[in-house]
Structure 1
Amino acid sequence: MITRPLFSIGIFLFFLISGLTLNSCKESPKKQSEVVDVFAAADRIVNDIVVPEFPDRNYSIMDFGAVPDGTTDNTQAIKLAIESCHTEGGGKVIVPSGRFLTGPIHLKSNVNLHLEEGAVVLFSKDSKAYLPVVHTSYEGVELMNYSPLIYAYKQKNIAVTGKGIFDGQADKANWWPWCGAERYGYIDGEPQQKDDHNLPRLRKMNEEATPVVDRLFGEGYQLRPSFFEPFECENILVKGVTFTNAPFWVMHPIKSNNITIDGVTVKSHGPNNDGCDPEYSKNVRIANCVFDTGDDCIAIKSGRNDEGRRVNIPSENIVVENCEMKDGHGGVVIGSEISAGVRNVYVRNCNMDSPNLDRAIRIKTNTLRGGFVENVFVKNIKVGQVKEAVLKINTYYAIYANQEGDFIPSIKNIHLEDVEVENGGEYGILIKGRVESPVENVTLTNVHIKGAKTPLSVENSQPIIFKNTTINGVDY
């Protein structure tokens, strides 16, 4: 039989005892003294995250000339309020009730941008408003591009909080058509992101290790900006606000540390509208949030292909708890931009339910991405319905051609416990590993899946360890 994993943070030891066989599929009951709660590590991660605090000083954007009529450009007023707050030692920049049009907002250290109830921040539909270009990222590759709508670069102690709404105003008439899909407003013959001067050019720059300052995009190109992007920042708080109508990824902390996302609502159904994408980031808590998205609800990333391997910063120590996932390609996803690896991910006490939710837990990579995924713990999850699978692990992921390379991914230590699924979709469990590197150590404990058309489809994986688990009423 197989013991449960014994965990101390950063170190995982898995012991095999008492007659292990590769074909073993069940475990005898354990004595309580033999069981260690791996989620105590999640508690330690949460307790150790530095949540920013701010001086008790308020700076209303109205005092800097803001006009809440939905048409006046308030970019300069908001900028002046943030600069004053930052220069005077920090505090809260207040956006009161009303509709405020603006261009990009650049946060500074020790500033909490606070939206009062009834505040709506409307972002300009004019792409030129997001110039000059800044150091940012697109699908796991750094570049100089349009500014994210809310951006912070190398700042410390920053926040966006309150009960208001950030409306990116992206739609089928602006930003979204650049994805190249007719359902998002693309017209055949118009420029789009797959044209040679866009993504293919950026991919080549990745392969050739072109310096980021020379990866110039922006005006004349069709690569959409993220909504909220703290880049190389520390001590970040996003609390209570709502994001809607995003051009691209919604929350994208990259190369950042100590990130708290609490009580946030994402309702955005555009192309690539991932809810939250921590990338090259560590010590992250995503809690009490609602995700209703056009792509993955949460997607943990760590760079694409050669760039990810050069940067070599794994995303790690990530806790997702008490969240609700509605529409989306996946509830909690790892990949596909994953070349630097992901480890120590904890998902607990979440509800996932929508006829438009494709998977609950998903890991996706290929041999161009490579990378590793290890130590993923999922507990106390209720799934109403998913389209494809409850757990999907795919090392052959591809939406573009030529996704085979020389970097064999490694996936191990994936554990689901106390998961209840009413409608499992096409598959209960769907795993496609590699002959060269089979998926290792997947366990299902107290998992009960109903309504899966195909209970299991497993290729190139060590045998799954089932403990008190049923699929379609059958014991495994």
Structure 2
Amino acid sequence: MKKFLEKAIAALLLGALIVSCSTKGKISSADANAWKTADSIRKLIVAPTFKKVDYKITDYGASLDSTVKSTEAIRKAIEACHTNGGGRVIVPKGTFLSGPIHLKSNVNLHLEDGAKILFSRDVNDYKPLVFSRWEGMECMNYSPLIYAYEQENIAITGNGILDGNANNEYWWPWKAKKEYGWKEGIPNQLAAVKILTQQVKDLVPARERIHGDGSYLRPPFIQPYLSKNVLIADVKIINAPFWNINPVLCENVTVRNVKVVTHGPNNDGCDPESCKNVLITGCYFDTGDDCIAIKSGRNEDGRNIARPAENHIIENCEMKDGHGGVVIGSEISGGARNIFAQNLIMDSPNLDRILRLKTSSLRGGIIENVYMRNVEVGTYKEAAILCDMFYEKPGDFLPTIRNISVENLNIKQGGKFGVLINAYKESPVENLRISNSTINGVKIPVQSNYTKGMVFDNVIINGEKVDLEKLDKSVKGEFEKF
């Protein structure tokens, strides 16, 4: 049944794209076919279920004294649950200090109302090093705060709080930015990032890229890796050292009703990376970086592993602060396809963009079949729709951006740009379609250089209907740095 649905999805998308590319103006019918594809994808995404057996961490020695680490007690409870066929590991009301938590198959880590896990600030607790990705590059690094490797049927649920315990004194200064507490003489990540990037370029085997002590690469908060059937639901996540929710090379992932409130460096809300069949629904993001950023690996790692981000549905979410609401990139060398976002609310003067596609010729990769509809925006800062092929320095791998549709986007008070496109002449943005949308209060309605098959259908910007014939003559493709 699953293979049948996947073949049906491919056929439906192909049909939708043929219609949309060949019939100018009939955007809604083409998009309707695409959204039928989203419904087919939804059937492939099924949250895991668990045995009705509970393992309370206090029964294994967890302490309600928040100065005493309960790492070992939580580990024992998870092991017992896993060994006995699965169930829920219960974190009761109270604050529990812990080092990293490693989930195992058939285990649901469940935080009851009033429960909090406060994570240790001692880097020694995050050893031994584990196999991880850091900004799209594979390496051995400090353990993520919650980690799983090659597991199935895992979950983090409940109305409790996960507190990464990071601030301008711990974890964040490693970014080497003064606004996050860094001062001259404080160690930082800059040298290690260069080393790791070179190791990737030189094709050093991933397990020989040893980081951890002396590298200062902050660990992700939640990183299931090469896992299947993942559920993260209802929890609130605060004070992350780095990216918050970062499933890597996973299949069948549900992120539901999660609240992410954290304003540190690189505090992306949810970054599914090289994942297939992902549902992000009912979530709230107020972040120091992108709210949702879909990724597929950086440079050689992304191209050689060649696992695109595909079949993602984002819906019924609210975005406040962030570099972007729905973002694809920049670690996108493996490509992205079949991305659907609908029924979203965004509103903050500190939200830079609504839909952001960011890549470069250093990354390469194909971003295609991206559909967004029914988005209500109060305000934002920079651009409503941004396609940028110059996010990072150039290389030898021209990126491709094609088949992007935005419908029913309504913005009360825009920022600097309505639509901003910066592409290569050799690789224009293809088939960008915007329909039935209103953007008010922007300084520059459209700035674009290289596009092919761009369509605006009933698009009102600053009270005037956009006329592409006039636009083609007036937009010169002059770009300032942004």
Same fold per TM (> 0.5)?
A: yes
DSSP 3-state at the match of 2:229: strand
Q: CA 1:106 to 1:35, structure 2 compared with 1: closer, same or farther past 3 Å?
A: closer
Q: CA deviation at 1:39?
A: 1.2
Residue 331, structure 1, aligned to residue 325, structure 2: yes
Q: Kindly provide the CA deviation profile for residues 400-428 of structure 1, in whole angstroms up to 9, marking residues without a partner as x.
A: xxx11110001000000011011120000
Instruction: Point out the more displaced range, 291-300 or 9-18.
Output: 9-18
Residue 175, structure 1, aligned to residue 171, structure 2: yes
Q: Check the 8 A contact 2:27/2:433 in 1, yes or no.
A: no
Question: Which residue matches 1:45?
Answer: 41
Q: Distance in 2 between matches of 1:333 and 1:19?
A: 27
Q: Distance in 2 between matches of 1:95 and 1:474?
A: 56
Residue 251, structure 1, aligned to residue 241, structure 2: no
Counterpart selection for 1:27 from 21, 25, 35: 25
Q: CA deviation at 1:462?
A: 1.7
Give me the identity figure in percent: 50
Q: CA deviation at 1:189?
A: 2.6
| Equivalent runs, 1:66-77 vs 2, <5 Å | 66-77=62-73
Q: CA deviation at 1:310?
A: 0.5
DSSP 3-state at the match of 2:451: coil
Residue 87, structure 1, aligned to residue 83, structure 2: yes
Q: Distance in 2 between matches of 1:372 and 1:17?
A: 19
Q: Distance in 1 between matches of 2:131 and 2:205?
A: 11
Q: Distance in 1 between matches of 2:208 and 2:26?
A: 60
Question: Which residue matches 1:435?
Answer: 425
Q: Kindly provide the CA deviation profile for residues 359-386 of structure 1, in whole angstroms up to 9, marking residues without a partner as x.
A: 0000000110011100000010001111
Q: CA 1:308 to 1:419, structure 2 compared with 1: closer, same or farther past 3 Å?
A: same
Question: Which residue matches 1:4?
Answer: none
Q: Distance in 1 between matches of 2:216 and 2:313?
A: 34
Residue 98, structure 1, aligned to residue 79, structure 2: no
Question: Which residue matches 1:10?
Answer: 10
Counterpart selection for 1:370 from 364, 372, 375: 364
Counterpart selection for 1:111 from 99, 107, 125: 107
Q: CA deviation at 1:159?
A: 0.1
Q: Distance in 1 between matches of 2:164 and 2:443?
A: 39
Q: Distance in 2 between matches of 1:18 and 1:160?
A: 42
- 2:114 counterpart letter in structure 1: G
DSSP 3-state at the match of 2:162: strand
Q: Distance in 2 between matches of 1:276 and 1:371?
A: 21
- 2:68 counterpart letter in structure 1: T
Q: Distance in 1 between matches of 2:177 and 2:282?
A: 33
Q: CA deviation at 1:16?
A: 6.4
- 1:230 counterpart letter in structure 2: P
Residue 340, structure 1, aligned to residue 338, structure 2: no
Structure 2, unaligned stretches of length 5 or more? 1-6, 467-482
Q: Distance in 2 between matches of 1:18 and 1:357?
A: 32
Counterpart selection for 2:434 from 425, 429, 444: 444
Residue 267, structure 1, aligned to residue 261, structure 2: yes
Instruction: Point out the more displaced range, 241-250 or 7-16.
Output: 7-16
Q: CA deviation at 1:192?
A: 1.0
Q: Check the 8 A contact 2:21/2:453 in 1, yes or no.
A: no
| Equivalent runs, 1:329-408 vs 2, <5 Å | 329-398=323-392, 403-408=393-398
Structure 1, unaligned stretches of length 5 or more? 1-6, 21-25
Residue 412, structure 1, aligned to residue 402, structure 2: yes
Q: CA 1:457 to 1:43, structure 2 compared with 1: closer, same or farther past 3 Å?
A: same
- 1:127 counterpart letter in structure 2: V
Q: CA deviation at 1:268?
A: 0.6
Q: Check the 8 A contact 1:297/1:332 in 2, yes or no.
A: yes
Q: Kindly provide the CA deviation profile for residues 248-275 of structure 1, in whole angstroms up to 9, marking residues without a partner as x.
A: 0000000000000000000010000000
What is the root-mean-square deviation of aligned Cα atoms in Å? 1.7
DSSP 3-state at the match of 2:198: helix
Q: Distance in 1 between matches of 2:458 and 2:450?
A: 23
Q: CA deviation at 1:145?
A: 0.3
Q: CA deviation at 1:344?
A: 0.3
Counterpart selection for 1:233 from 221, 224, 227: 227
Q: Kindly provide the CA deviation profile for residues 143-176 of structure 1, in whole angstroms up to 9, marking residues without a partner as x.
A: 0000000000000000000000000001111110
Q: Distance in 2 between matches of 1:46 and 1:72?
A: 43
Q: Distance in 1 between matches of 2:73 and 2:20?
A: 66
Aligned length: 457
| Equivalent runs, 1:191-202 vs 2, <5 Å | 191-195=187-191, 198-202=192-196
Q: CA deviation at 1:69?
A: 2.0
Q: CA 1:469 to 1:212, structure 2 compared with 1: closer, same or farther past 3 Å?
A: same
Q: Kindly provide the CA deviation profile for residues 3-41 of structure 1, in whole angstroms up to 9, marking residues without a partner as x.
A: xxxx95124233369997xxxxx73798x7x87432122
Q: CA deviation at 1:66?
A: 0.8
Q: Check the 8 A contact 1:432/1:461 in 2, yes or no.
A: no
- 2:272 counterpart letter in structure 1: P
Q: Distance in 2 between matches of 1:330 and 1:148?
A: 24
DSSP 3-state at the match of 2:190: coil
Q: Kindly provide the CA deviation profile for residues 407-461 of structure 1, in whole angstroms up to 9, marking residues without a partner as x.
A: 0001000000011011120000001111111100011110110011000001111
Residue 462, structure 1, aligned to residue 452, structure 2: yes
- 1:161 counterpart letter in structure 2: T
Q: CA 1:80 to 1:19, structure 2 compared with 1: closer, same or farther past 3 Å?
A: closer
Counterpart selection for 1:58 from 54, 60, 69: 54
- 1:52 counterpart letter in structure 2: P
DSSP 3-state at the match of 2:90: strand
DSSP 3-state at the match of 1:199: helix
Q: CA deviation at 1:190?
A: 2.1
Q: Check the 8 A contact 1:293/1:328 in 2, yes or no.
A: yes
Q: Kindly provide the CA deviation profile for residues 72-101 of structure 1, in whole angstroms up to 9, marking residues without a partner as x.
A: 110000000000000000000000000000
Question: Which residue matches 1:304?
Answer: 298
More helix by share: 2
Q: CA 1:311 to 1:17, structure 2 compared with 1: closer, same or farther past 3 Å?
A: closer
DSSP 3-state at the match of 1:387: coil
DSSP 3-state at the match of 1:468: strand
DSSP 3-state at the match of 1:48: coil
Q: CA 1:182 to 1:28, structure 2 compared with 1: closer, same or farther past 3 Å?
A: closer
Q: CA 1:327 to 1:17, structure 2 compared with 1: closer, same or farther past 3 Å?
A: closer
DSSP 3-state at the match of 1:220: coil
Q: Kindly provide the CA deviation profile for residues 77-131 of structure 1, in whole angstroms up to 9, marking residues without a partner as x.
A: 0000000000000000000000000000000000000000000100001111101
- 1:15 counterpart letter in structure 2: I
